[in-house]
Amino acid sequence: MILNIDELTMRFGGVVAVNSISFGIKKGTIFGLIGPNGAGKTTIFNMITGNYIATSGSIKFNEKELVGVKPHLIVREGIARTFQNIRLFNSMSVLDNVLIGFDFQAKYTFLEAVTRLPRFFFEEKRIKKRAYEILEYLDILNFADTKATDLSYGQQRKVEIARALATKPKMLLLDEPAAGMNPVETEELAKIIFKAREDFGLTILLIEHDMKFVNRLCEEVLVLDYGKTIFEGAPSEAIQNKEVISAYLGDFKHD
């Protein structure tokens, strides 16, 4: 297991958003975290990435405890994420948005940057070259100098994934990556996720409402409702589970 979550709980005042959740994710798998709106899915993402500190319970990544660890240090451990609502820097180009992902990887000191010593220029060149490679990998190299928010929704999602890949993650958390996409864009995204898993050696944790997309990608899913686990297993079994169907109550998309 690359990620082990044990009895994880998150309370906001008197509201229990996540209630004693436990699950594990095997290295190299695509794992789905699903459930109706308000089930606690994004709250779990926020605890894994350090944006929320769990009220109780444990989050271990490669056997290292993450509860209480600062978000930027969790990125250095190898966890990157995208957001349900795309978060790009509006005034910056596509390239500059991706370069931010390399921030902690620069191998020069503040003094070397200020005085413009040779290592600074070497590192800047290396990082920019790698950024271009990632943009080319995601087929958005032509937009490198374009303002990120001038791109289509699907292309902006690629920029966000590119920035996440720039951090050299071992695990990628995708929060509703297919939301707002048309069927063609969704199919292209599925292919990107499969390919990136192999090429970058990723483990992927995915939040998604589109069950057709989940069935296409995930080997295993955990279904939440009101902060509690109601099902864990194969997605093909989840869509036949009475408790899961009841939780979605018509919000399910399946063929």
- Split at pLDDT 50, 70, 90, the class of 104 is low
Q: Give the model's pLDDT for residue 209.
A: 85
Q: For domain 81-172, which CATH number applies: 3.30.479.30, 1.20.1090.10, 3.40.225.10, 3.40.50.300?
A: 3.40.50.300
- Report domain extents, the chain: 81-172
- Split at pLDDT 50, 70, 90, the class of 254 is very low
Exposure letters 198-212 (e unless 16+ CB within 10 A, then b): eeeebbbbbbbbbbb
- Give this prediction's pTM: 0.86
pLDDT in tens, 64-94: 999 999 999 999 999 999 987 777 877 889 9
Q: Give the model's pLDDT for residue 47.
A: 97
What's the whole-number mean pLDDT along residues 55-66? 97
Return the minimum-mean-pLDDT range out of 30-44, 173-187, 237-251: 237-251
CA–CA distance, 65 with 74 (Å, rounded to integer): 10
Q: Give the model's pLDDT for residue 222.
A: 95
